[in-house]
Amino acid sequence: MKNITLLLLCLLFFMHSALFAKDYTQKHEVRLFVDQMVKRHKFSRSYLNDLFRSVKFQKKALAVYVPSLRPRVPRRPSHSARKIGPWDYYEKVMLKESKVTKGIAYMHQHRETLSRMYSKYGVQPEYVTAIIGIESHYGVNTGKFPVFDTLTTLAFESHRRKRYFKSELKEFLLMTRREKVNPTRIMGSYAGAIGLGQFMPSNYKSYVVDFNGDGKKRMNDSQDAIGSVAYYLKRHGWHRGEPVAVRVSYPGKRFNSRKTGYRHSYSRASLKDIAPKWQFDYHGRVYLIKLKRYHFDELWYGTKNFYVITRYNHSSYYAMAVYQLAERIKKGYKEKYGSYLR
């Protein structure tokens, strides 16, 4: 009886595996991709065929880009019905007190690496810490999707962004060969982003640095991640010591008199009816960043460094969350340790 039960369990396991394993070498598009990787990048054909022969189909990842694959769930009340504005909700999710507390602890734990990073790249430690906190909760959640399987699914199933993911798959295979790692062992996000800073494979060659000096570039290593996030910001134009944002006042409760967002910059002299709420030592052009709350709009000046953060994630709300989390971590660090890390 025990042997029969064991046999049945084994059969169920293999049937379950067979349902979700897919031989992508049967696709003409994949065979063309393999041909290109062999011809242009000197990959072994047998090596690639072995990889593509048993891909675990990532339905959850594909569902992000194909709405028809998503399970039906009851619709949540709108922000208006919940009496909460978009920024109120974003702030609640992204700026939890636990994220500040863990950020202070992370910054203290890695203070030597962060100090060395600041000396080399000029990016304030709290900003690198905040980005790592938002991207991966300080390394606790770097992703549960197998990156090779995810990128293969997204590269060769039908949806509007498949060309982008085919390019990322190519870069991923090149990166794993360069770094001498098994592509089937790397876990990441539903989009194939990797490590504490959630870098896409295409960012590895240009922006990931070996900051611990071990001859490897690993975004799952805190030292390499800290150096790489800072280097990314530096390469995109971060200015050492310059502010990022300041809240401003304006007439009324809703702001619609000028275009907002990081695509529109202004000289401060042209914004006669707008003034910083506290000291703001910055004389460059500014962006008007509107945070829509339920009862009113918050308005902020964003600087060049604010714009640089949007190169990491093209969202003004994201950049503002990084700024506010960084400032709270900095304040908490000074209160707890009596000094500021530099």
Domain range summary for the chain, segments of one domain joined by +: 245-302
The set of catalytic residues is 135
Measured between alpha carbons, how far is 94 from 131 in angstroms, rounded to an integer? 11
Structure tokens at 57: 């189909």
**pLDDT tens sequence for the chain (342 residues):** 334 444 444 434 333 433 478 999 999 999 999 999 999 999 999 999 999 999 999 999 999 999 988 887 666 665 555 667 899 999 999 999 999 999 999 999 999 999 999 999 999 999 999 999 999 999 999 999 999 999 999 999 999 999 999 999 999 999 999 999 999 999 999 999 999 999 999 999 999 999 999 999 999 999 999 999 999 999 999 999 999 999 999 999 999 999 999 999 999 999 999 999 999 999 999 999 999 999 999 999 999 999 999 999 999 999 999 999 999 999 999 999 988 777
* Residue partners of 219: CB distance under 8 A and separation at least 6: 194, 195, 196, 197, 199, 204, 208, 225, 228
Contact (Cβ atoms closer than 8 angstroms) between residue 148 and residue 24 = no
